[in-house]
């Protein structure tokens, strides 16, 4: 294998130190191929270049390596952390990658008197108490509902709480003790908060005994009303514990992880137990599974390749717990490498144990997680199968010269405005069999006659493709591949008929681009969905695919998404022009007091903008002349 690599690269490999570190491989286009960690950089990296890997995926990857980078670290834990930070930020082709998901939600108890319980997502603050994380928003809301039923803690905002003169509906339905109007003392409310915290930490039985003891004390003192309140609280808590009978209080904080691999895809199902209660689960679907699983060596040994499921699970553990709090116990469907557990333990500051082949309650949890992993993966494969079928139908219907369906990239444009006002163009992207929201773009259209959709289309296409055309021309002259990741799409959809397609043709001719890329989506008779016809810029005859065509369904989906994206952008821009551009405080004669009265009367700036001159003039301190000035400024 080494004869395929430069002498400089082989000398660099030979000079590596026998220390822990992270290595990165790059190809001729400077694209990152792989990130790995090693206890011994010299031994690990050398193994790639000294052995004949044949036609395996490892051999295919190694044949592409033209340069490498290495970073020496102090320990295996540091190597693990750096490796997975690089994987998550750089997305190398041959690593199993779990995309960053949105942050986990928490249940929050505010500090200070009369604590509020609420749903929370974001950075934590020391002055408040947080419980979780929870696998979903639904799980947090269920927990809040339990807290309301059993401990009757408030959920209202502080501004609402501070201005109440009588209890709200939650007090009437026994979901809040109404501390806002003094229906409960600060001391008694603080006891309820403390009990709620114990319950959330898994000390439900302790809370039950304390409530029962307090109930008996009140009964002995003939304080039957207070005793009855506590009796109801005990009954509510008892009912909750009965519903949660599957929980094992010996396992306070546990994560259960099950892996399923099928059809080149994988699912890791993560179930959470917090405070002794099973909170639910969440599926994760890594990418690059097919590319990564063929690398036949363990990172730190010469042992044969481990099962695909074990590799996927270890990749999840390494990447997921970089940003998420880790419990001391993991229940796993696959055995975990001891070196990984040791590194994770060093990272979090306490010993982490992984239980494979669990018993009793833990086994029940794992079986549930395995079932969910299989169901979620089956759903994903079914969805992807239908998506790939639609992509294939489109490629075949338009006779596109495309070898790999995965690479099909479609960009679709639409123009939106209201009688020429706030004109915007949208560009949406379809790639890898789905819409790529992160690549959507909006273009503000200026310098045209209001309402001229053709001029707007000319402007947006010129702005979108002029730089790409320049790069393509330079690459054609030099014979060298263009750098960067931006490329021309395989198909440019225009929401419009012959007029818009003709405008797109002019732009592409001026830029020297391929006219066969342009396809217009012309509405059919009566503008009915399913009767659309495709119009081509290169002279081909119009095509009607049929209302039941999978290709037309995909085109309609992309077109409708472009229309939706354009309309939402136009409305936001129009609102900004009409309202944001003429803020109340910028209007001469409208000071803080008058502004406050206007906002209070009409419920906000938008309400003021919708009001008539006569309505505005009814506000205290606003003359009819000033009302006219306000109206003009907001319209």
Model pLDDT, residue 54: 66
Backbone angles phi, psi at 496, to 5 degrees: 165, 170
Model pLDDT, residue 301: 46
- 110-115 average pLDDT score: 87
Model pLDDT, residue 481: 53
Of residues 123 and 181, the one with the higher pLDDT is 181
Model pLDDT, residue 259: 94
Given a contact cutoff of 8 angstroms between Cβ atoms, the answer to whether 535 and 503 are in contact is: no
- The CATH number assigned to the domain holding 497 equals 3.30.420.340
- The CATH number assigned to the domain holding 629 equals 1.10.150.20
Percent of the chain with pLDDT over 90: 22
Q: Is residue 424 located within the same domain as residue 290?
A: no
Q: Is residue 473 located within the same domain as residue 522?
A: yes
Which of the listed residues 195, 212, 243 is the one where a domain comes to its end? Answer: 243
Which of the listed residues 361, 378, 395 is the one where a domain comes to its end? Answer: 378
- 629-633 average pLDDT score: 80
Band of residue 26 on the pLDDT scale cut at 50, 70, 90: very high
Residue 399 lies in a domain: no
The two tokens of residue 4 are 């395929």
Q: Is residue 584 located within the same domain as residue 567?
A: no
Of residues 217 and 463, the one with the higher pLDDT is 463
- 598-626 average pLDDT score: 80
Band of residue 279 on the pLDDT scale cut at 50, 70, 90: confident
Q: Of the candidates 181, 148, 176, 175, which has an alpha carbon nearest to the alpha carbon of residue 162?
A: 181
Of residues 142 and 166, the one with the higher pLDDT is 166
Residue 534 lies in a domain: yes
* DSSP type of residue 53: -
Given a contact cutoff of 8 angstroms between Cβ atoms, the answer to whether 72 and 23 are in contact is: no
- 161-183 average pLDDT score: 89
Residue 100 lies in a domain: no
Residue 434 makes CB contacts below 8 A (sequence gap 6+) with: 387
Model pLDDT, residue 302: 46
Backbone angles phi, psi at 409, to 5 degrees: -125, 125
Model pLDDT, residue 419: 65
pLDDT tens-place string over residues 190-228:
988 988 888 888 777 777 777 777 788 778 778 777 777
CA dist 153 and 233 (Å) reads 12
Percent of the chain with pLDDT over 70: 87
Residue 286 lies in a domain: yes
Q: Of the candidates 77, 59, 131, 11, which has an alpha carbon nearest to the alpha carbon of residue 352?
A: 77
Q: How far is CA 171 from CA 149, 164, 195, 232, 272, in A?
A: 11, 12, 19, 14, 32
CA dist 253 and 481 (Å) reads 53
Model pLDDT, residue 224: 78
Of residues 3 and 540, the one with the higher pLDDT is 540
Q: Is residue 427 located within the same domain as residue 571?
A: yes
- Report the range out of 62-66, 414-418, 506-510 with the highest average pLDDT: 506-510
- The domain in which residue 322 lies consists of 254-378
CA dist 222 and 233 (Å) reads 18
Given a contact cutoff of 8 angstroms between Cβ atoms, the answer to whether 236 and 257 are in contact is: no
CA dist 70 and 66 (Å) reads 14
Residue 591 lies in a domain: yes
Band of residue 526 on the pLDDT scale cut at 50, 70, 90: low
Model pLDDT, residue 571: 65
Residue 397 lies in a domain: no
Q: Is the pLDDT of residue 445 over 90?
A: no
Residue 248 lies in a domain: no
Q: Is residue 222 located within the same domain as residue 264?
A: no
- Give the mean pLDDT of the chain: 82
Of residues 573 and 140, the one with the higher pLDDT is 140
- 229-244 average pLDDT score: 65
Q: Is residue 143 located within the same domain as residue 13?
A: no
- Residue 493 β-bridge partners: 412, 519
Band of residue 577 on the pLDDT scale cut at 50, 70, 90: very low
Model pLDDT, residue 85: 84
Residue 117 lies in a domain: no
- Residue 416 β-bridge partners: 424
Q: Is residue 133 located within the same domain as residue 179?
A: yes
Q: Is residue 351 located within the same domain as residue 441?
A: no
Q: Is residue 60 located within the same domain as residue 145?
A: no
Backbone angles phi, psi at 358, to 5 degrees: -75, 175
Q: Is the pLDDT of residue 285 over 80?
A: yes
Q: Is residue 162 located within the same domain as residue 266?
A: no
| Strands laid side by side in the 117-120 sheet | 117-120, 106-109, 129-131
CA dist 64 and 33 (Å) reads 8
- Least confident span in 4-8, 107-111, 507-511, 541-545: 4-8
Which of the listed residues 208, 243, 278 is the one where a domain comes to its end? Answer: 243
Model pLDDT, residue 575: 53
Band of residue 578 on the pLDDT scale cut at 50, 70, 90: very low
Q: Is the pLDDT of residue 300 over 60?
A: no
Q: Is residue 161 located within the same domain as residue 224?
A: yes
Q: Is residue 72 located within the same domain as residue 208?
A: no
- 147-174 average pLDDT score: 87
- Report the range out of 264-268, 500-504, 592-596 with the highest average pLDDT: 500-504
- The CATH number assigned to the domain holding 334 equals 3.30.420
* DSSP type of residue 305: P
Of residues 616 and 209, the one with the higher pLDDT is 616
Model pLDDT, residue 449: 86
Q: How many domains does the chain have?
A: 5
CA dist 15 and 28 (Å) reads 22
Q: Is the pLDDT of residue 308 over 50?
A: yes
CA dist 411 and 393 (Å) reads 17
């Amino acid at each position: 294998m080494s004869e395929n690599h430069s002498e400089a690269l082989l000398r660099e490999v030979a000079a590596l130190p026998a220390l822990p570190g992270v290595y990165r491989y790059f190809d001729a286009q400077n694209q990152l191929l792989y990130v790995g960690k090693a206890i011994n950089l010299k031994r690990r990296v050398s193994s790639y270049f000294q052995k004949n890997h044949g036609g395996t995926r490892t051999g295919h990857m190694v044949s592409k390596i033209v340069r490498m980078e290495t970073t020496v670290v102090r320990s295996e834990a540091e190597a693990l952390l750096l490796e997975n930070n690089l994987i998550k930020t750089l997305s190398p082709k041959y690593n199993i990658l779990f995309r960053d998901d949105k942050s986990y939600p928490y249940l929050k108890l505010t500090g200070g008197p009369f604590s509020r319980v609420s749903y929370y997502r974001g950075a934590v603050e020391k002055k408040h108490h947080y419980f979780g994380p929870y696998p979903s928003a639904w799980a947090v809301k269920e927990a809040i509902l339990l807290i309301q039923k059993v401990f009757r803690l408030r959920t209202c905002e502080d501004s609402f709480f501070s201005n109440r003169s009588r209890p709200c509906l939650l007090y009437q339905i026994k979901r809040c003790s109404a501390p806002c109007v003094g229906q409960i003392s600060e001391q008694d409310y603080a006891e309820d908060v403390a009990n709620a915290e114990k319950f959330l930490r898994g000390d439900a039985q302790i809370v039950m005994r304390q409530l029962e003891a307090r109930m008996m004390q009140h009964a002995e003192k003939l304080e039957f009303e207070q005793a009855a309140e506590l009796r109801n609280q005990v009954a509510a808590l008892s009912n909750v514990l009965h519903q949660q009978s599957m929980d094992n209080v010996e396992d306070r904080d546990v994560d259960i992880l099950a892996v399923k691999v099928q059809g080149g895809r994988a699912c890791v199902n993560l179930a959470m137990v917090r405070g002794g209660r099973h909170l639910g689960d969440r599926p994760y679907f890594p990418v690059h599974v097919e590319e990564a699983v063929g690398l036949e060596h363990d990172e730190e040994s010469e042992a044969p390749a481990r099962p695909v499921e074990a590799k996927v699970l270890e990749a999840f553990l390494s990447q997921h717990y970089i940003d998420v709090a880790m419990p001391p116990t993991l229940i796993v469907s696959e055995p975990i490498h001891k070196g990984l557990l040791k590194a994770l333990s060093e990272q979090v500051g306490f010993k982490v144990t992984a239980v494979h082949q669990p018993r009793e309650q833990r086994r029940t949890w794992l079986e549930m997680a395995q079932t969910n992993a299989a169901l979620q993966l089956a759903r994903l494969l079914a969805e992807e199968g239908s998506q790939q079928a639609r992509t294939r139908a489109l490629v075949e219907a338009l006779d596109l010269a495309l070898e790999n369906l995965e690479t099909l990239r479609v960009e679709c444009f639409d123009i939106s405005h209201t009688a020429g006002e706030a004109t915007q163009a949208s560009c949406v992207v379809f790639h890898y069999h789905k819409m790529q929201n992160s690549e959507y773009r909006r273009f503000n259209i200026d310098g045209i006659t209001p309402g001229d959709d053709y001029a707007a289309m000319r402007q947006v296409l010129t702005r979108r493709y002029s730089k790409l055309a320049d790069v393509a021309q330079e690459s054609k002259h030099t014979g060298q591949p263009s750098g960067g990741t931006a490329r021309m799409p395989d198909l440019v959809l225009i929401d419009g008929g012959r007029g818009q397609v003709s405008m797109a043709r002019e732009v592409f001719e001026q830029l020297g681009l391929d006219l066969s890329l342009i396809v217009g989506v012309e509405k059919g008779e009566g503008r009915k969905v399913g009767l659309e016809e495709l119009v081509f810029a290169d002279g081909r005859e119009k095509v009607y695919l049929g209302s039941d065509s999978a290709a037309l369904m995909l085109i309609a989906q992309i077109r409708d998404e472009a229309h939706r994206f354009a309309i939402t952008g136009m409305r936001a821009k129009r609102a900004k022009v009409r309202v944001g551009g003429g803020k109340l405080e910028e209007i001469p004669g409208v000071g803080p007091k008058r502004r406050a009265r206007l906002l209070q009367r009409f419920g906000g700036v938008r309400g003021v903008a919708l009001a008539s001159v006569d309505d505005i003039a009814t506000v205290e301190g606003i003359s009819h002349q000033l009302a006219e000035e306000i109206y003009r400024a907001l319209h």
